Structure 1
Amino acid sequence: MSLDSDTEADILENVEEVMDNLLKELQDLYSYRDLFFENHSIDLAVEKNKRVEEKKEVLVEKFESIDADTQIPEVLRAKFLYMKGRCYNISPTYDARATQCLSKAVKLCPALIDAWNELGESYWKNMNVKEAKSSFEGALKHERNRLSLRCLSIILRQENSDKKRSEAHAAIMKSVDLAKEAVSQDIKDGVSWSVLGNAYLCQFFMVAQDPATLKLCMSAYKQASLDPIAKGQPDLYYNKGIALKYSEIYDEALFNFEYASRLDPPWQPPKQERMRLVTFLNAAHSLVRTRGKLKAKKLATMVQAIDKKMLGVYGEGLHAFAGRREVALEHTRLDALEDGPNEARVILGKVVGSIHNDNAVPFTFALIDESMECVLVTVYNWADGRGAIIGDCVTIPEPLMRTHKYEAEDVSFDFKSIRINNPLLLLVNGKRVARNQFACTRVTSTYEIH
């Protein structure tokens, strides 16, 4: 008997049927994982990975009972190895067997896009960003596809997260474009929408703090939540929580961090981020309520020392903000401010205390004026080590006021705050903040490829 006939004799009977059955079981396994919370209570989240692993091992046994080199015909071998590698790769942690199978698959069939993408995800789990990027680019050489596009979008942002704003600009915008293209490939794919939301969030902080960009970010997350697969992923809620925190919608941020934790109890970042936010909010509430814990006599002395000369350039002439027509600013007391924009108004007060923030973002202090009203002021993009100190006189044109009120077991707050995106608009002791004190905000978001 010839070698060829020996080889043919080893080929599985009904091999295509066997492959179809394995593919169906593989698809069912991924559906079980991706739609877990569509079919199970969130209280079972702690069991999810264990249950997926148990089902994985059953299927792994079936794959490993077949010798790809002898029992699978060459024409189907790449597909079989891809399926086997994808089975190994369902785990959240790196499995070297996945890389081995998938590497063989792309060598046998370089046009097998799914194998390239799966290989990229496998490398990613092993923190091998260079090879992951190469794999996704390998897939794109054959076809523009949403998985490669959105994964490259993520990689581009991460590669440029530590670069200067000017250096990162082009890469961040390319990241947004890749994510947009991924969405355009399938507008119902919520994971692509989630990645686009992250790209917009990065653009908001790293390129230009345009409120319209933040709206696009939140809109993308909203679209993502319509997809049953995306809405079951903790990453969506964690990243949305980050966006809400920087939007100062604190109650919703707390909810999203908590929900992310419930979806993946062992995952620490949502718990840590929520804890940091709770600490900040409790400190903010206390700082405003106690007016910096300064004694009444000292407060009275500080308030009496407020000199309208400290209105500086805002005390006279016309001023234009956000491209609107020039207006004269009216000096307004803190207790007369309204929630929302206070156009054509300027406030002047004394700093009574500040909050130490490990991230230095935002720089946060409490301000009081002759009305004895105390408000929180959050300033973004103020260089680390800069800021106002107790006793400084701060002038803020057209303050944007918001009332924050919330109560839960571990956090209770009720205070008003004024948000400043551009510190260069401020006057400290009558002088404009210098340009060298401006620094772009660094924002961290976490996305795990699935």
Structure 2
Amino acid sequence: MSNQAEQDPMAKATIAAEELYHIRETYFPANPDEKISKLQTESDLALKLLDSVPPEQRKLPMQRAAYEYLRGKILDVFPDYRKEAEDHLSKAVKLNPSLADAWLCLGNCIWKKEDLSAAKNCFTLALSKGPNKKILCQLSMLERRMAQGTENEAELIEESIHHAKEAITLDVKDGNSWYNLGNACLTSFFVTGAWDHSKLLQSLKAYQNAEKDERMKSNPDLYFNNATVNKYLENYERALRGFEAAALKDPGLNAGEEVQKMVNLLDKLENMLRGHARAKRLASLASSLGAVNLSSSYKQATIDLLVEGLNKAVAVVGKVVFFIKHEGVAPLYYLVCDSNQICFILSLYGTRNDAIKEGDQLSLLEPYYRYIDFSWKGKHYQFKSIRVDFLEQVLVNGKALSPRQAVPTSIFAQHKP
């Protein structure tokens, strides 16, 4: 602390407010009430310091504005809306309308009472004082929140991505800006119909860039969201590592449960494959695979002929051996065997769970093939996997599925205002 800060109560209160927000961003005890209690204690101390500012040092409008801003900021550190915080922040911007930080803080405060358009107005006014990465990130996040359920949702999400990218151009090393862009791309992926995987890959890249910033190491949501995308892309090992890291950083997140769910699922998939791989039933299922009239643009192949990744203009024909129930919502998992009696796991997205049943013959068009092979906590997982993202890629008993069988796929990122 500088000598000036030691003598100057205003400087001391400013430092105390910064430390208070540092606690909010980095302290995640197992019991969330402990965090609120710590914030309460620290904010009381910060307010005491602020009260020690002599009256003559808060007389002039500029001084008074700084004082009101700091008081509002300290009161607004809690997750719930506080009218008292809004009152002080409103006074600050009236006394000094060019105080961008006060506009930003007021916007965050108003957001908590769900007055989204007023919050956006505050962020826009804050930005009018000059470019600022923090404000751009908050505006980007708010736009995603405002987009939910609106007719022009995709348009608003694009605006959110634009502001997220603008923040990065101001400081390419800022982890929070990259994290915010990752969340924006993730939201965009689902809003636009979950078909453009490049959006998901952009999201992962942004999260990886965010992780390079030391300050982001304490952000559990970053690890949780990164793991969520990896889980959706069936990068099982990376997802498990990410969820475990998030659980260690914030026990309050359900990341530990996510790890357990994934391990349960992987164990189930392994057991299914092992249990059915040599079953006599496979021979009869494989021999009952009928000829399929596929359009000439598809070449029929068995699982062992597929290449890693997307297999364009290829179709795999197989029989459903088993529907595998699990704790998650999406995807649907099936044990399928091809004409060579080789079993694989099919993960099917965007389709209702009554669309396909055991014994059905499937033609999987342009399948995405992965050979899963990794170890986790002393257990080795190894299986062939085909992923299908849309019901248009599946023929059941030679027929296309009806659009009524489609369901939207979505996953939700963790992000707090």
TM-score normalized by the length of structure 2: 0.85
**Structure 2: how far apart are the matches of 1:161 and 1:271?**
28
Quote the residue 2:175 is aligned against: 190
Question: 8 Å contact 2:314–2:365 — kept in the other structure?
Answer: yes
After superposition, give the CA deviation of every residue in 1:377-406 in whole Å (9 maximum; x if it has no partner): 112222x35531111111123432212244
Quote the residue 1:8 is aligned against: none
Confirm or deny that 1:393 pairs with 2:372.
no
* One-letter code aligned to 1:240: N
* One-letter code aligned to 1:390: E
Quote the residue 2:69 is aligned against: 82
1:27 maps to which of 2, 5, 18: 18
Change (3 A) 1:31 1:403: same
Change (3 A) 1:369 1:79: same
SS at match of 1:313: coil
Change (3 A) 1:380 1:107: same
1:425 maps to which of 369, 377, 393: 393
Quote the residue 2:283 is aligned against: 300
**Structure 1: how far apart are the matches of 2:345 and 2:294?**
23
Change (3 A) 1:119 1:279: farther
**Structure 2: how far apart are the matches of 1:136 and 1:196?**
18
**Structure 2: how far apart are the matches of 1:126 and 1:410?**
48
Residue 124 of structure 1 and its aligned partner are, at CA, apart by 3.6
Correspondence list, 1:146-185, <5 A = 146-162=133-149, 167-185=152-170
Confirm or deny that 1:206 pairs with 2:191.
yes
Quote the residue 1:273 is aligned against: 258
After superposition, give the CA deviation of every residue in 1:158-198 in whole Å (9 maximum; x if it has no partner): 3333457xx42212212211211222222222111111011
Residue 263 of structure 1 and its aligned partner are, at CA, apart by 1.1
SS at match of 2:246: helix
Change (3 A) 1:283 1:188: same
Correspondence list, 1:223-372, <5 A = 223-265=209-251, 267-291=252-276, 296-307=279-290, 309-310=291-292, 312-314=293-295, 317-319=296-298, 329=299, 331-343=300-312, 345-356=314-325, 360-372=329-341
Change (3 A) 1:71 1:106: closer
Question: 8 Å contact 1:361–1:441 — kept in the other structure?
Answer: yes
Change (3 A) 1:22 1:380: same
Residue 101 of structure 1 and its aligned partner are, at CA, apart by 2.0
**Structure 2: how far apart are the matches of 1:229 and 1:92?**
21
Change (3 A) 1:103 1:284: farther
**Structure 1: how far apart are the matches of 2:335 and 2:174?**
44
Question: 8 Å contact 1:120–1:135 — kept in the other structure?
Answer: yes
2:345 maps to which of 358, 361, 376: 376
SS at match of 2:214: coil
Correspondence list, 1:3-22, <5 A = 17-22=8-13
Quote the residue 1:9 is aligned against: none
Residue 426 of structure 1 and its aligned partner are, at CA, apart by 1.9
1:215 maps to which of 198, 201, 218: 201
* One-letter code aligned to 1:318: S
**Structure 2: how far apart are the matches of 1:149 and 1:20?**
27
* One-letter code aligned to 2:265: F
After superposition, give the CA deviation of every residue in 1:123-159 in whole Å (9 maximum; x if it has no partner): 3445554543343233234444322322222222233
Long gaps (5+) in structure 2: none
* One-letter code aligned to 1:234: P
After superposition, give the CA deviation of every residue in 1:91-110 in whole Å (9 maximum; x if it has no partner): 45555543332222123223
Question: 8 Å contact 1:354–1:365 — kept in the other structure?
Answer: yes
After superposition, give the CA deviation of every residue in 1:237-282 in whole Å (9 maximum; x if it has no partner): 11111111111111111111121121112x2332343344334333
After superposition, give the CA deviation of every residue in 1:57-96 in whole Å (9 maximum; x if it has no partner): 3222212344879954322111111122222333455555
SS at match of 1:268: coil
Question: 8 Å contact 1:335–1:371 — kept in the other structure?
Answer: no
SS at match of 2:212: coil
Question: 8 Å contact 1:289–1:374 — kept in the other structure?
Answer: no
Confirm or deny that 1:138 pairs with 2:122.
no
Change (3 A) 1:126 1:411: farther
* One-letter code aligned to 1:85: G
Question: 8 Å contact 2:365–2:393 — kept in the other structure?
Answer: yes
Change (3 A) 1:410 1:104: farther
1:98 maps to which of 78, 81, 85: 85
**Structure 1: how far apart are the matches of 2:224 and 2:134?**
21
Which range moves more in the overlay, 400-409 or 373-382? Answer: 400-409
Question: 8 Å contact 1:149–1:179 — kept in the other structure?
Answer: yes
Question: 8 Å contact 1:278–1:410 — kept in the other structure?
Answer: no
Question: 8 Å contact 2:10–2:50 — kept in the other structure?
Answer: no
RMSD, aligned α-carbons? 3.5
SS at match of 2:319: strand
Quote the residue 1:446 is aligned against: 414
TM-score normalized by the length of structure 1: 0.79
